[in-house]
Amino acid sequence: MDKRDLKERTKQFALRILNLVDAMPPNLKGRVISQQLVEAGTSVGANYRAACRARSKSEFVAKLGTVIEEADESAFWLELIMEGRILRRELAAPLWQEAEEIIAIMTQSRKTAESTLKAPKS
- 43-94: pLDDT as tens digits: 999 999 999 999 999 999 999 999 999 999 999 999 999 999 999 999 999 9
* Domains of the chain, residue spans: 3-116
Q: Is the pLDDT of residue 122 over 70?
A: no
pLDDT of residue 1: 72
CATH architecture of 3-116: Up-down Bundle (1.20)
Closest-CA residue to 16 (of 78, 68, 105): 78
Q: Which residue type sits at 11?
A: K
Q: Which residue type sits at 94?
A: P
User: What does the DSSP assignment read for 31-81?
Assistant: HHHHHHHHHHHHHHHHHHHHHHT-SSHHHHHHHHHHHHHHHHHHHHHHHHH
Mean pLDDT of 15-20: 98
Q: Could you tell me the pTM of the whole model? A: 0.91
